[in-house]
Amino acid sequence: MGWCLSIAPTGAWVAVRGAIDSPVPLLLSLVVLLWTAGFDVLYACQDTEFDRGAGLRSVPARVGVGRALWVSRLLHAGAFAALVGLYFLTNLGAPALAGVAATGALLVYQHSLVRADDLSRLNAAFFTTNAFVSVILLATFGGAALLNRL
């Protein structure tokens, strides 16, 4: 799913500009890929036993919930690192920096809600924090880009 969603930023860039003439869309696509893959692994933890019984090879079914949570954390750390790189590459100033900081805080918060032995707050971790991340990034990076154009 991460790969499928990640091609959208670069595809939109090409649709508007006609070429990949900057590393910006590729880095944004990397952010989307790692962020989505991270929350997809996290969400799949609730289906571990079903996946094993059905012969599905999800990350949690293959490595267990505890290790899957670490895979998700590493993917989100990579997404955050790529987002920091995107911030420096775009030079969008304070609004975008606020978005980077808020996204980092939300990713840490998301992972603080779940443990291998307690997935009871998984829906809050998955749905609430990811909805906020997407809106925050749109408002801060999109707003900063719009302000720079004006």
With contact defined as beta carbons under 8 Å apart, do 39 and 1 qualify?
no
Q: Give the pLDDT band of residue 133 (cuts 50, 70, 90).
A: very high
Please state, in angstroms and rounded to a whole number, the distance separating the CA atoms of residues 84 and 118: 31
pLDDT in tens, 96-111: 999 999 999 999 999 9
Q: What total number of domains does the chain contain?
A: 1
Q: What CATH number should be reported for the domain holding residue 141?
A: 1.20.120.1780
pTM of the model: 0.93
Please state, in angstroms and rounded to a whole number, the distance separating the CA atoms of residues 143 and 13: 17
pLDDT of the residue at 125: 85
Q: Give the pLDDT band of residue 4 (cuts 50, 70, 90).
A: confident
What's the mean pLDDT in 132-136?
Answer: 94
Q: Residue 16 is part of which domain span? A: 2-149
What's the mean pLDDT in 27-47?
Answer: 96
Q: Give the pLDDT band of residue 93 (cuts 50, 70, 90).
A: very high
pLDDT over 90 at 140, yes or no: yes
More confident residue, 118 or 125: 118
pLDDT of the residue at 96: 97
The separation between the first and the last C-alpha atoms of the chain, rounded to the nearest angstrom, is: 35
Burial status of residue 64 (CB atoms within 10 A of its CB: 0-12, 13-18, 19 or more): middle
